[in-house]
Every structure is written in structure tokens, then in C-alpha cells.
Amino acid sequence: MRFYVNKNTQTNGDHEVHRSTCSWLPDAENRLYLGDFTTSQVAVKEARKYYGQVNGCCYCCPETHTS
């Protein structure tokens, strides 16, 4: 599955990780492609290379959504 991280922060400071199939996937100019991964946990780890505060989307990555 392809994963992306939102370049824009949420109100709490998080950059959300999304699957490519998510209804809440940011527009192309507002997202960074992370790669193809088997789990969102690996995608979140990759996103932390770019942003300090990362969270999984509550809709498409509930297993990594913490706040």
C-alpha cells in the first residue's frame, strides 16, 4: 500500500499519515510520498524522518492513530 504524509500540520501539530485510498488524503501539493509499506507503523516511522510529530489518520490508519 502507498502511504503519504500531510505537509500541513493539524491543529494539534501532528502531520498525519494516510493510505493512498483514504478519503481524507490531502491534495497532491500538500502531501509527501513516503513509499510502499505493508503496515502503517512502518509508514509512520518513515514520516518521522521528515517531521517530529506524526500520527496515523484515524480513518485509514487507526492502528497508528494516537491523538
Cβ distance 4 to 31 under 8 Å? yes
pLDDT at 49: 97
How many CB atoms are located within 10 Å of the residue 2 CB? 14
Give this prediction's pTM: 0.95
User: Using one digit for the tens of pLDDT, what is the confidence trace for 3-58?
Assistant: 999 999 999 999 999 999 999 999 999 999 999 999 999 999 999 999 999 999 99
Please give the residue range of the domain that contains residue 38: 2-64
**Total count of domains within the chain:** 1
Q: Which backbone phi and psi does 38 adopt, to 5 degrees?
A: -85, -20
Question: How many residues would you count in the chain?
Answer: 67
